[in-house]
């Protein structure tokens, strides 16, 4: 915790770099707490204690608990967007074999969730309460989902592959990968499990879209 305690606010006006670092630490520990425990079980005090700051500092940098919760989704979404948008754009551009491009999208998604398992924890707990926190899905998941759906829909229309229900195809694989990645919240994912998951999703793509 030494690195977290070092971010505790000191007297006087903090430098901009200090403020950014403090906010990053707050969001990082809050994301982990929300992913492991859910919205209701996490208090601002718990976040402050884990970050090595006081409650007033959390409010200053992230607002109240609901604003902090949404900021955690924004944090992981931005990381996911950076990881996935380049490969989604390549698939959308239509250069080369589409199925190969879709395999690269899947690899990027699996890589991301294995590196950031807190993303899975946040979303699984969010999906257990679908009537709460309106707008989170639309803002922090749908933009990327819809980009992949559009790739599949356009390929179906062009006769490149057959996918009459892109919405279901995308969500089916997302759920499968999240179910695998959740084990990363409790420690490293075993190497054999990593291999099995990747082999499964690649077989799924090949069989769905007629590669022998």
> How crowded is residue 181: how many other Cβ atoms within 10 Å of its Cβ?
25
Residue with tokens 């551009």: 93
**Nearest by Cα to 149 from 194, 100, 88:** 88
- Residue 10: which region, alpha, beta or left (left: phi > 0; alpha: psi -120 to 50)? beta
Are 101 and 87 in contact by the 8 Å Cβ rule? The answer is yes
**What pLDDT, on a 0 to 100 scale, did the predictor assign at position 20?**
84
- Prediction pTM value: 0.85
Give, for all 212 residues of the chain, the pLDDT tens digit: 444 444 444 444 455 567 789 999 999 999 999 999 999 999 999 999 999 999 999 999 999 999 999 999 999 999 999 999 999 999 999 878 999 999 999 999 999 998 898 999 999 999 888 888 989 999 999 999 999 999 999 999 999 999 999 999 999 999 888 888 877 666 676 777 778 888 999 999 999 997 64
Tell me whether residue 83 is exposed, middle or buried, using C-beta atoms within 10 angstroms of its C-beta: 0 to 12, 13 to 18, 19 or more.
middle
List, in order, residues 6 or more apart from 83 with CB less than 8 Å away: 108, 109, 111, 112
Three-state SS for 14?
coil
DSSP conformational letter for 39: T
Cα of 165 vs its chain's centroid, Å? 23
**What pLDDT, on a 0 to 100 scale, did the predictor assign at position 11?**
43
Count of alpha carbons within 13 angstroms of residue 210, beta-carbon side = 7
Q: Which domains does the chain have, with CATH numbers?
A: 2-63 (1.10.10.60), 72-208 (1.10.357.10)
Angle between helices 118-127 and 166-181 in degrees, nearest 10: 120
Are 82 and 146 in contact by the 8 Å Cβ rule? The answer is no
**Nearest by Cα to 118 from 205, 171, 184, 192:** 184
**Nearest by Cα to 65 from 90, 48, 78, 85:** 48
Are 189 and 77 in contact by the 8 Å Cβ rule? The answer is no
């Amino acid at each position: 915790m030494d690195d977290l305690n070092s971010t505790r606010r000191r007297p006087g006006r903090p430098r901009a770099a200090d403020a950014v670092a403090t906010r990053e630490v707050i969001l990082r520990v809050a994301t982990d707490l929300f992913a492991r425990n859910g919205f209701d079980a996490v208090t601002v005090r718990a976040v402050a204690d884990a970050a090595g700051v006081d409650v007033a500092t959390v409010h200053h940098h992230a607002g109240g608990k609901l604003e902090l919760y949404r900021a955690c989704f924004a944090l992981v979404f931005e990381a996911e967007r950076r990881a996935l948008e380049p490969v989604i754009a390549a698939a959308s551009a239509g250069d080369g074999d589409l199925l190969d491009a879709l395999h690269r999208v899947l690899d990027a998604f699996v890589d991301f969730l294995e590196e950031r398992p807190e993303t899975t924890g946040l979303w699984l707990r969010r999906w257990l309460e679908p009537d709460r926190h309106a707008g989170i899905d639309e803002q922090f998941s749908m933009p990327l989902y819809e980009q992949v759906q559009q790739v599949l829909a356009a390929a179906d229309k062009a006769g490149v592959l057959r996918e009459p229900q892109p919405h279901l195809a995308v969500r089916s694989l997302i759920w499968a990968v999240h179910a695998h990645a959740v084990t990363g919240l409790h420690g490293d994912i075993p190497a054999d499990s990593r291999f099995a998951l990747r082999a499964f999703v690649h077989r799924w793509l090949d069989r769905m879209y007629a590669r022998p």
